Amino acid sequence: MKAAHNIFYAHGFGNVAPWFDLANSEEWDGFGKRTDHLNDREWLAAFWKHWKLAPISFDSPSRRRLQDLRELLRRAAQKLAAGHSLGTGEITKLNHALNVPVRQRLVQRQNGWRAELLPIQRDGNWTLAQIAASLAETLAGQNAERVRICANADCRWIFHDPTKAGTKRWCNDRTCGNRARVRRARAAQKRSA
Ligand SMILES: [Zn+2]
């Protein structure tokens, strides 16, 4: 458990929103090697725990549903990173994931009263809906235009660009950014040789 906890945080998960993490749970290491964290019980345990989500069972149908949502999230990220909005097909699927029965309850928090949505059933559908809702929040907020995909085609990590100018191209300048600079330098050397 401890090791996976470390993998989860060491690989940069748990930063922005649940939907970023699920989308990046199919991870490429920067050299094209793929890891599917949905096959890793311990990664999933860290994911549920970090975002306070009700765990989804580890059977094939449940993981298939997670994979389906993940595909939708990556497609959404690609559209957003390219400066486009989502298509009607994607919005329909997103609304489908969001469509779970809820009730409202008035609760008192430190900063006052607020109405909270609670699920009728705290099950896998609710968990998928919460992940989908985190994308809906990104779309509704100011951060949709800050969604980026690492420019290293062997990485493709989805991230939030925190820079003022909005010009961050790589998930990490020291790894993917540096690799790109080295590649460009080598290509230039070859051309001049
Ligand atoms: Zn990268």
Residue 146 near residue 137 (C-beta atoms within 8 A):
no
Environment class of residue 105 by beta-carbon count within 10 Å: exposed (0-12), middle (13-18) or buried (19+)?
Answer: exposed
Residue 157 CA to ligand 1 center (angstroms) comes to 5
pLDDT confidence bin for 3, thresholds 50/70/90: low
pLDDT confidence bin for 2, thresholds 50/70/90: low
Residue 78 CA to ligand 1 center (angstroms) comes to 14
Residue 41 CA to ligand 1 center (angstroms) comes to 24
Q: What is the pLDDT of residues 42-57, one digit of tens each?
A: 999 999 999 999 999 9
Among left, alpha and beta (phi > 0; psi -120 to 50; other), residue 42 is alpha
Mean of per-residue pLDDT scores for the chain: 93
* Superfamily holding 2-98+127-192: Jann2411-like domain (1.10.3300.10)
Calculate the CA 133 to chain-centre distance.
12
Residue 122 CA to ligand 1 center (angstroms) comes to 35
Angstrom CA distances, 180 to 143, 159, 166, 170, 171, stand at 26, 18, 19, 9, 12
Residue 183: the pLDDT is 83
Question: Is residue 192 over pLDDT 60?
Answer: yes
Domain boundaries, the chain: 2-98+127-192
Residue 21: the pLDDT is 98
Residue 32: the pLDDT is 87
Question: Is residue 145 over pLDDT 70?
Answer: yes
Residue 124: the pLDDT is 94
Residue 55: the pLDDT is 95
Question: Is residue 189 over pLDDT 90?
Answer: no
Residue 125 CA to ligand 1 center (angstroms) comes to 31
Residue 4: the pLDDT is 58
Residue 149 CA to ligand 1 center (angstroms) comes to 8
Q: What is the pLDDT of residues 101-129, one digit of tens each?
A: 999 999 998 989 999 999 999 999 999 99
Residue 19 is inside which H or E element, if any?
helix 18-23
